[in-house]
Amino acid sequence: MVLGAGVAGLTLANILQAAGIDCVVLERATRAHVETRARAGFLVPNTARVLDRHGLAEGLHRDGRPHGSCEFRTETGSFRLDYSTLGPCEPHTAYPQQNLVTDLLAHYLAAGGRVHFETAADAVHDIDGPRPTVDARDADGRPRRWRARYVAGCDGRHGAARRSLPPGTRRHQRDHGVTWLSLLAEAPPSLDAIGYALHRNGFAGHMTRTPQVTRYYLQYERGTPADAWSEDRIWDELDLRLGAAEHGPLRRGPIFQRGTIDLESDVVETLRHGSLLLAGDAASLLPPAAAKGANVAVLEAELLALALVDDLAHGDPTGLDQYSDRCLVHVWRAQEFSRWMVQLMHAPAGPDGASHFHDSLRRARIESLRTSRSHQDWFAENYVGI
């Protein structure tokens, strides 16, 4: 039983299906919502390799575009890192997450997989026994009960899997104190690189999604509604922070999606509780500053799928016994680099001495990244690595 039809759940379900392991996916949203929910858009090389290994990369190869440069803009100058020529010399692949989910879902259904949309899982019971159950409600609100050998919780940090963890489960949380206004604009990219702008008004980010759509981020006052700013004000602020006076104005277009994101980190230890196993955002939430969430989810899904196949098809529980420890090594490394990116891109709030001290450290990090080849190689290795 797989809870959640996102990247983690569908990658897991596809690998299990191909190995002849019967599974059912429960998803609380509609299929249309799942296939259009815009999230991340940069896939690291290991994610592409995982998808390739399991025959899940056709759309990625057809429509994905290699992306290997990022540009840092500050009020004292700008510089570019061609990170695909640094460190391991590998690029990202720009491919919208909703396209990947659509691909994974189509592949799973074409192979005979079963997905129940608009089916909300409420709780997982009997996780210490050999046959856990999942209580759920279908689209009409009627209760359903499912029984399985294992339940894979891939339904996010607020899903039934997290709610069903036993008392005493360790959960590590950090609020980074930063909020972003997240925007999708029907406008061609204005840079041929990922753009990171560090401005006295706050951070601004430019991330290409497709030749027609660009993702923008603006550091935003927490608690302000996403619709508080007009489109003109948003574009003017993006122009200001991204340095339109020096680099030229942005290519504007209608903003068709907006929302706010509080940058937070969240890790559950352990990721296995008897017959309940966690992956994706149910296992760990990463701030989007380093675009690691979907990539960690794919890695976890493959590790979990192969471990389940070993146990169910070959009677070897070793992979399941080691699953949590193996994943958490990668999770904490991704958390560490994501935290480093948050600190690099955002000045501490307030005029006090401590804030001035930390802001000076941030400027020193930027200068080191601009001038030190060893620092650039370290950045590239972590930026595209999982």
Query: Which positions are annotated as active-site residues?
Result: 67, 196, 288, 292, 383
CA separation for the pair 15, 239 (Å, rounded): 45
Give the DSSP letter of residue 125: E
CA atoms within 13 A on the CB side of 156: 12
**Strand blocks (E) in 10-119:** 24-26, 42-43, 65-67, 70-74, 77-81, 92-94, 114-116
CB atoms within 10 A of CB 187: 18
CA separation for the pair 11, 17 (Å, rounded): 10
Residue 125's contacts (CB-CB under 8 Å, 6 or more residues apart) are 132, 133, 134, 135, 164
Give the DSSP letter of residue 117: T
Q: Identify which of 306, 300, 292 has the alpha carbon closest to the alpha carbon of residue 325.
A: 300
Specify the amino acid at residue 243. G
Token digits of residue 205: 């980010």
CA separation for the pair 41, 83 (Å, rounded): 17
CB atoms within 10 A of CB 241: 24
CB atoms within 10 A of CB 272: 20
- Tell me whether strands 92-94 and 65-67 are parallel, antiparallel or unpaired: antiparallel
